[in-house]
Amino acid sequence: MKLKVLIILVLVIAALAVGIVFSNTTDAVFFDSVPWVTIAAAGLGFVLGIARALLKGKEKISYGEVNRHGTGSFLEHWGTALGIFALLASAILLGFLFFPSIMKNLDTTAFPLNIHFIGVVIALFGGFFFVGDYIATRKFDRLLPNIPDIFGGLLGKYFLRRKWSSEDKYLSSQKVAFLGFALFGGVLLISGAVKVAAHIRPINADYWAFFTVLHDLFSLLFIFLLIVHVLLVLGLREWPALASWITGKVTEERAEEDYPVWHKELKTGKRRGYKLLGYKEGSEVEE
């Protein structure tokens, strides 16, 4: 796992680095010259994500360790995150709301605009790889929170210090964060798509202004959520979860203690009978 993770990391960072160098050495604005690459990246990611879901192995406990993340999960989380970091950095250079633009004229704006484009391409590839995998795996409740997750697993556990013993593979608080990322990311995607469309053909100025305000407001919300996400990981000292992104594993002891519902599922091969989406009681368990 470690070597495969390293290869993926080098490839994604290399794609970003090539993009940055290319952005700096061309007069072209990528949103104008090759807008179709954004759609191609999303489509390719989606198809590969479905293939991953069909090919991936089963989660299992062996020699006191549990397989938690495959290389594909690493690409989904960290590939998308790297693209988003490029989006955020370029967003701040471009300027929005109370972030002043540090770009003085059109010439100097082309560079951050092109970095935004590279960020869109990488984030869409990683994000849609995740979406394809997630849909084809059909284990929606793994990451989507339900009402008890919100009241018991987030508000009760952290704010009222109540005991919460229904943690699944992902903590209830992580599921709520996932919902936030999905909603905010979805609005950024739709408003961003309208702004990409404006580079292909002229659109109504009022629409453009509306989607720009939406894009900017949700950029801010997204930044806020990301800061909370990172602070929670650091504050709750989730070092084993952080390390598992690289090693792919957690100890069985840790799985039993922190993720009891998931551990039980791995032991019995049976999934808790969620009525909502995806699962049938006793269905086979795959990663």
In the complex, which residues of this chain contact ligand HEM (CB under 6 A)?
31, 38, 68, 77, 81, 84, 87-88, 91, 94, 96, 113, 116, 120, 143, 170, 174, 177-178, 181, 188-189, 192-193, 195-196, 212, 215-216, 219, 222, 226, 229-230, 233, 238, 241-242, 244
Place of tokens 């109540």: 162
Burial group, residue 221, by CB count within 10 angstroms (0-12, 13-18, 19+): middle
CA atoms in the 13 A half-sphere facing the CB of 278: 16
Q: How far is the CB of 16 from ligand HEM (least distance, A)?
A: 14
C-alpha closest to that of 8 among 72, 56, 83: 72
Q: How much is the CA Rg of the chain, to the nearest whole Å?
A: 21
122 in Cβ contact with 83 (< 8 Å): yes
Give me 98's structure tokens: 């109370």
Structure token digits, residue 269: 């091969």
Residue 23 or 174 with smaller CB distance to ligand HEM? 174
Q: How far is the CB of 265 from ligand HEM (least distance, A)?
A: 15
> Please, which residue, 155 or 233, has the CB nearer to ligand HEM?
233
Rank residues 31 and 46 by Cβ distance to ligand HEM and give the closer one.
31
> Running DSSP on this structure, what letter comes out for residue 242?
H
Residue nearest to ligand HEM (CB): 192
Q: How far is the CB of 162 from ligand HEM (least distance, A)?
A: 21
Cβ closest to ligand HEM, residue 77 vs residue 264: 77
Taking the complex as a whole, the smallest distance from the CB of residue 206 to ligand HEM amounts, in Å, to: 15
The CA distance from 171 to 19, in Å, is 36
Q: Which CB sits closer to ligand HEM, 50 or 144?
A: 144
Residues 129, 152: Cα–Cα separation, whole Å: 31
Reading the block at residue 99, the tokens are 């972030």
Tell me the closest approach of the beta carbon of residue 165 to ligand HEM, in angstroms: 17
Closest approach of Cβ 66 to ligand HEM, in Å? 11
- By beta-carbon proximity to ligand HEM, the closer residue of 183 and 193 is 193
State the Cα–Cα distance between residues 271 and 141, nearest whole angstrom: 11
